[in-house]
């Protein structure tokens, strides 16, 4: 909001406010977060602070991420890596 602009909400304006906010709230609940599982190499490209080796090591130690497939391909989400390493 810019300086000098105020919104005064009175009791008679509440239904209109609810009608305006309802679609915005509903769309935010229905939106899907785009945080796919990536390989350690892809993660290191998105998070330059972490190396692919460090990410692989942390996934093997079950700190975050998963092993996919029969061969145990290491994969994790960007948000998991950032949260664990506090980046």
pLDDT (tens digit per residue) in 24-42: 888 877 766 688 999 999 9
Q: What is the pLDDT of residues 29-86, one digit of tens each?
A: 776 668 899 999 999 999 999 999 999 999 999 999 999 999 999 999 999 999 999 9
The predicted model scores a pTM of 0.62
Strands 37-38 and 73-77: antiparallel
Which residue bears the tokens 């980046």? Answer: 87
Q: In the prediction, which pLDDT does 45 show?
A: 95
Q: Which residues contact 74 (CB under 8 A, 6 or more apart)?
A: 39, 40, 55, 56, 59, 60, 65, 66, 67, 68
64 within 8 A of 76, measured Cβ to Cβ: yes
Sorting pLDDT into bands at 50, 70 and 90, what band is 2?
low
| Domain residue ranges of the chain, discontinuous segments joined by + | 37-85
Q: What angle do CA 75, 78, 84 make, to 5 degrees?
A: 95
């Amino acid at each position: 909001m810019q300086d000098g602009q105020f919104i005064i909400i009175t009791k008679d304006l509440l239904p209109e406010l609810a009608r305006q906010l309802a679609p915005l709230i509903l769309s935010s609940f229905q939106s899907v977060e785009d945080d796919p599982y990536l390989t350690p190499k892809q993660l290191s490209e998105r998070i330059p602070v972490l190396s692919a080796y460090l990410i692989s090591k942390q996934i093997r130690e079950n700190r975050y991420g998963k092993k996919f497939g029969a061969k145990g391909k290491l994969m994790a989400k960007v948000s998991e890596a950032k949260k664990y390493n506090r980046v």
